Chain A
Amino acid sequence: MSVTTAEKPAVRTTKVLPSPVTGQEIVLVGVIAILWVALWVSTPAFMTAGSIQPLLVATAPVALVGVGMTIVIITGGIDVSVGAAIMVCSVLTAKLLVDAEVNLGVAVIVSVAAGGLLGLVNGVLIAYGRVHAIIITFGTANLFLFLGLQIFGSGTVNGIPGTLAFFGRGQDGRTFGVPHAFLITLLITAAAWWYLRHTAGGRHFFAIGGDAQAARLAGVRVQRRVLLAYVLTGLLVGLASCFVIAQGTSTLDQSVGSGKELAVIAAVVIGGTSIMGGRGSVLGTLLGALLVQSVASGVTQLGWSSQLSDLFVGIFIIVAVGADLLRARARRSR
């Protein structure tokens, strides 16, 4: 916590909020713009609806879970169980779609509720167990994985009907050319951005990540806030799982969700959120997810070797973390 001198409280109140967009976000918009223009000139069809629409759909689940993950990381925590949680929600929902033939609404509600429940488990253990989040979520990741495999039984889920096509890549997944999955992600990101920036409750997450002890002394209900961060992540995992089913095939196998936690954390870090907590932006996370997916699609459309996209993502993470450290140093020396 920075020390505020008693002499100039009036000056502080006028600029208590950070600027609406961070430097990282402006850089990301620039990088994505340059990348898209470069791909526009060098590929036959990157800048067409048939290419951009699926790209936005593929970005949605990572960006959506990224909103929750950003809040968790802002509080100084982390959630490495989201991949396994996606598996549980996806297989549960897919089974319901096949066996009970539930409709879209029921499927979404069940999936979101299941995700919220898993998030609650994480949140209670972390907020009240006082063990570091990486250990708790590493443990629950394995528990969730076991749970998911139990629901799978011994086999894949076959013949998933097109009930969730509303969130998918196809014609039913768009209105006026805008993919629903991306639109929903955009709206939730905007709401989270406003909440984090303009409400007291939202600011508390930053306070906790900056210094939990000081936040507690300042009257922030730290445990409740931390619990909420993980529950929110769980709810978003539930919704993202519906997206995952919709953009997959009519078969769901055990690999669903595998490695997604790393993709989400990568998007958050590239988006400029400090892995040490206290600073971050959901808008940056959305841009980070969009950049990663644009690179993956670009590499394929350019006919480059597939593993190059891993190389680029790795470079982005290192550059983003480096930039964050430089910013932190600049702030300290100010």
Chain B
Amino acid sequence: MRPRFAAAVALTATAAIALTGCTKKNETDTAGGTDAGSKTYKVAFVPKLQGVPYFEAMNAGGKEAAAALGNVEWLYQGPTQADAAAQADIVRSYIQQKVDALIVAPNDPDSMAPLLQQAKDAGIHVATADTDAPSSVREVFVNQATAEGIGQGLTDALLKAMGGKGKYAIVSCGQTAENLNSWIEVQKAYTKEKYPEAQIVDIVYAGEDQAKATQMATDLMNAHPDLTGLVGECTSSAPGVAQAVKDAGKIGKVFTVGLGTPQAMKPYLQDKSSTAAILWDVENLGYLTAWAGAQIAQGKPFAATNNVSSELSAVEYTEADKMLLLGPALAITDQNVDQFNY
């Protein structure tokens, strides 16, 4: 009796969740366009998830831009987990609020595309930032760095520490994360081309789990006793690989680099278990995102080179792929880590 009851209850719960998910879908077809006339433009940004330092730093930059520009109201809300459905609900609510510009860092670019179409139909200017939805109606993509910039930055920083040769492995996160995979492709090609004596021996996927990333890095060091380098491809595996090297007592023998946020990487940069964190100035990315939102809300076109602020005096725009590029990737080391408060 009991297990059958449990199964029935579980089914009912699932069905209820599925139903509530569906009923919300078709509520927002009627909104009309209202972007003209108002002096203050509402620019909304929906991150992949909120509460993590990365997107909170973007939020800080966005707020700063709104204050500097004067005619922008910056709105920021994201799901508490990197979940495409929860993110879609927030996007729909912004469509209903009839914001002037809606910028999304999509968790799932494919499922976000029809929602962006809905927003456009409602007269809202749409854009993407941080992660693109290439096959959507977005007017601009605010790109933090090119895949080449990041992949080459990671490879150069690691191989410099490894002396230009040796075996290294990559601990990545989501196996289907498109941006991570595009960086890995660059790392593979660039290593082969520029460092013929270096070799990537394995690429493993730990999800967003720090402890798992650390354990996998430990296993990789055991699997390849001659390993001298590790790359943590995302913000949870970057400190993970460094921790593994530290725990194994291999600081100075195995070098690590990673895509980590400065404050999280600070202890590892200081004890040398991590050589460098490759990132970009996230606050500036937020600033540029808010600025771009204000531009499209006002219907202003982008120039080939844009003077956004004193720190962002020459932001390049490419018309072919409608992309604003923040600039080259940034290497964070124990020397400059204190400049960043996120």
Contact = CB atoms under 8 A, between A and B. Distances in A.
Chain B interface main SS type: helix
A132 B215 contact: no
Interface size class of A (residues with CB under 8 A): 35 or more
A300 B6 contact: no
Q: Which of B211, B216, B248 has the most CB of A within 10 A?
A: B211
13 contacts: A134-B6, A134-B9, A155-B53, A158-B263, A158-B266, A249-B239, A250-B264, A250-B267, A255-B209, A296-B215, A301-B222, A303-B223, A306-B175
Nearest to A134: B6
A45 B205 contact: no
Interface in A92-106: none
What 8 pairs across the A-B complex have the smallest Cβ distances? A249-B239, A300-B219, A251-B264, A301-B223, A170-B247, A169-B247, A45-B222, A51-B222
Interface in A68-119: 76, 78
Given A43-B223, A58-B215, A156-B52, 8 more contacts: A249-B210, A253-B210, A254-B51, A296-B212, A301-B223, A303-B223, A306-B175, A306-B204
A249 B205 contact: no
Contact of A43 (B221, B222, B266): B222
A247 B248 CA distance: 12
A297 B216 CA distance: 7
Contact of A169 (B56, B214, B242): B214
B247 A135 contact: no
B47 to A, nearest CB: 11
Chain A interface main SS type: loop
Contacts of B51: 149, 152-155, 254
B240 A46 contact: no
A295 to B, nearest CB: 11
A51 B248 CA distance: 10
Given A45-B223, A297-B219, A301-B223, A249 B214 contact: yes
A44 interface: yes
A169 B218 contact: yes
B70 interface: no
A155 B2 contact: no
B234 to A, nearest CB: 11
A23 interface: no
Contacts of A156: 52-53, 261, 264
Interface string A28-61: 0000000000000001111010110011001000
Contact of A253 (B13, B52, B205, B268): B52
Given A155-B56, A158-B264, A300 B209 contact: no
B142 to A, nearest CB: 22
Given A156-B264, A256-B210, A300 B216 contact: yes
B247 A168 contact: yes
Contacts of A253: 52, 208, 210, 235-236
Nearest to B237: A249
Contacts of A255: 208-210, 236
A303 B202 contact: yes
Contacts of A252: 210
Contacts of B209: 255, 258-259
A50 B2 CA distance: 46
B134 interface: no
B157 interface: no
A277 interface: yes
Contacts of B216: 300, 306
Nearest to A153: B51
Contacts of B37: none
Nearest to B172: A306
Interface in B242-283: 242-244, 246-249, 261, 263-264, 266-268
Q: Which of B53, B215, B246, B268 has the most CB of A within 10 A?
A: B215
A276 B268 contact: no
Interface string A266-284: 0000000001110000000
A78 B208 CA distance: 26
